[in-house]
A = this chain, B = another copy of it.
């Protein structure tokens, strides 16, 4: 069965998945890189960036699940680009010529455009669809594999609210951002459909997983 999975989505202790003041130069606004330092410090991440060393414990175990068994990603317009990217016909995402997805990627946007084929197996498709419609499309493209719900915050919240997520992995970073976009709004009682598990890492973050109870 093809699952819809959220892999290592970082939030602050006060629940923000990104900061305030997003722009081309500040993809996470005033949060800067603070939500993702734990991830940049892992061996897997550093290896992908051509750097030696890195942590090789629980954080590194979790980040490696990013690609495992994934056949497609769904992301929001806010992950694909800065506010206003749709006015730039040359914008092809943040990730350079060879993005780290290596699968079809469905970008949810009201400003659709023709698909863009990148190096390394990533193709960006731009669709204006509901979460359920997008998931159906992505599942077909994933050919039996799982679909990653890649973010940003509002997309993950929308998919959770629509009860479409089978596996949610959030990483709680012990900082208080104070402002930005909250992940948990409007999700009262979400945990009732899931088995949850929390595991703290020596890096300071806590991995919290929600796995849907079979019904």
The reply to whether A174 and B189 form a contact with Cβ atoms under 8 Å apart is no
Task: Please encode chain A, from 1 to 38, with 1 for each CB lying within 8 Å of some chain B CB and 0 for all others.
Answer: 00000000000011100000000000000000000000
| A206 → chain B closest CB, angstroms | 5
* A residues whose Cβ falls under 8 Å from a Cβ of B: 13-15, 172, 174-179, 184-191, 196-200, 204-206, 208
From B174, B188, B190, B206, contact of A200 by CB (8 A): B206
Cα distance A65–B215 in the bound complex, in angstroms: 41
What 4 A-B pairs have minimum CB-CB distances, sorted nearest first? A178-B188, A14-B184, A174-B196, A198-B200
Cα A199 to Cα B203 with chains together (Å): 11
Contacts of A189 in B (CB 8 A): 175-176, 178
Contact between B197 and A176 (Cβ–Cβ < 8 Å)? Answer: no
**Which has the most chain B C-beta neighbours within 10 Å: A14, A185, A204?**
A14
Chain B residues with Cβ below 8 Å from A208 are 13, 174, 206
| 13 A-B residue pairings within 8 Å (CB atoms) | A13-B172, A13-B191, A15-B15, A174-B191, A174-B196, A176-B184, A176-B189, A178-B184, A178-B186, A178-B188, A178-B189, A199-B200, A206-B206
